[in-house]
Chains A and B, each alone.
Chain A
Amino acid sequence: MHEMGIAEQLVKIALDAIPKDIQNPRVETVHLKIGKLASVVEHSLTFCFEIITKDTPLEKARLDIESVPVRVHCKSCDQSWEVTGPVFQCPFCEDGDVEMISGREIEIISLELEETS
């Protein structure tokens, strides 16, 4: 539901990162990392991105999204594991003080610019 806000931030960061000395820059790909537990629907994000990048150097750029697995660590027994469902109980000590190591990222990693001759 807040993908438009995320797309707006994303576009702002990407536009700021394009060197000012490049004439008519065109971004081909935007590489992102999005955690599986982040509240982002890829389809909605792509849809919003397409709308707001019209007439900008990001128009028609592809969003390449790397999905980051949810990994957690149990502070009680020091084990780490990947969570694939909504259950965060420690499978080793069955209780535990559990912290998330990854899975909530919404990060912009890099841009690929079209080569200019």
Chain B
Amino acid sequence: MEIKIQKKVLEVNETEAEKNRKFFRQKNVFVLNMMSSPGSGKTETLCKTLARLMPGVRVGVIVGDICTTNDADRLIKTGARVTQINTDQFGGDCHLSASLVLDSAKKLGCDDLDLLIVENIGNLVCPAEFDIGEDARAVVLSVTEGEDKPLKYPLMFRVADVAILNKIDLLPYLDVDRDLAVGNMQKVHPRMPVFEMSAKTEEGYEPWLDWLKLKVFEKTGKGL
């Protein structure tokens, strides 16, 4: 006996993600899902981004890690409102699910925010698969990871709307071809904007901030 089903296995998460989109629309907040492998510099990139955006843009951050509040402790010093999700309470999940993000967004409070940034768990595979109801996805690749990572982990670079090539201040000390790294990202995702920058020295920050401010303004009419 055959029973036809024809259903998406991740349907539950996708339904939750739609609820999140509705919630974020009601709150008139732009949501950015920031993803990368561990150690690419997401948190430092965000610390510098927040310092430059606030108070003109009102920003909240949800930060996901398996363990520790280290990243939240760093981000909170910028003056942004921050909440940390530790997935070790939920089996050490390698990604943030839509329902976890909604619970945290409600806890954080979104009424007075223009921009909500979700710093996903460091992982170039799993977070790409889980919609959290975001408006845009950014992937960070640091030059120390090597030029070929976009080709090795194509889904992450396919689903991203924008990429950051981070730690370019280290290029003089590395055998890394910057143009090849950018070229590989654009092989996987033609036309994707790639911002080459250094979170440490803040070189190359302006185009990234302009892109982000424009996106916030396009959705919310606020922040420019």
Q: Place the interface of chain B in its size category.
A: 20 to 34
Please indicate which of the listed interface residues B3, B11, B151, B187 has the most CB atoms of chain A within 10 Å of its own CB. B3
Chain B positions within 8 Å of A86 at CB level? 150-152, 154, 187-188
26 contacts between A and B (CB under 8 A): A1-B123, A6-B10, A10-B9, A13-B5, A17-B5, A19-B3, A37-B154, A39-B125, A39-B126, A87-B151, A88-B187, A95-B190, A97-B191, A105-B8, A106-B8, A106-B10, A106-B129, A107-B9, A108-B7, A108-B9, A109-B4, A109-B5, A110-B4, A111-B2, A111-B3, A112-B3
Q: Is A56 an interface residue (CB 8 A)?
A: no
Give the 8 A-B residue pairs with the shortest CB-CB distance, closest first: A86-B154, A113-B1, A1-B94, A86-B151, A111-B3, A2-B126, A106-B9, A87-B187
CB distance from A109 to the nearest CB of B (A): 6
Given A10-B9, A109-B5, A88:B190 Cβ within 8 A: yes
Q: Is B95 an interface residue (CB 8 A)?
A: yes
Distance between Cα atoms of A87 and B187 in the complex (Å): 5
CB–CB B8/A88 < 8 A: no
Given A107-B8, A108-B9, A88:B1 Cβ within 8 A: no
Distance between Cα atoms of A85 and B158 in the complex (Å): 13
Chain B interface (Cβ < 8 Å from any Cβ of A): 1-12, 91, 93-95, 123, 125-126, 128-130, 150-152, 154-155, 158, 186-191
Chain B positions within 8 Å of A109 at CB level? 4-6
Distance between Cα atoms of A90 and B126 in the complex (Å): 26
Q: Place the interface of chain A in its size category.
A: 35 or more
Distance between Cα atoms of A14 and B5 in the complex (Å): 8
CB distance from B64 to the nearest CB of A (A): 13
Q: Is A96 an interface residue (CB 8 A)?
A: yes
CB distance from A58 to the nearest CB of B (A): 12
CB–CB A96/B190 < 8 A: yes
Q: Is A55 an interface residue (CB 8 A)?
A: no
Q: Is A100 an interface residue (CB 8 A)?
A: yes
Given A9-B12, A37-B154, A17:B126 Cβ within 8 A: no
Chain A positions within 8 Å of B8 at CB level? 105-107
Please indicate which of the listed interface residues B4, B10, B151, B152 has the most CB atoms of chain A within 10 Å of its own CB. B10
CB distance from B91 to the nearest CB of A (A): 8
CB distance from B121 to the nearest CB of A (A): 10
CB distance from B74 to the nearest CB of A (A): 25
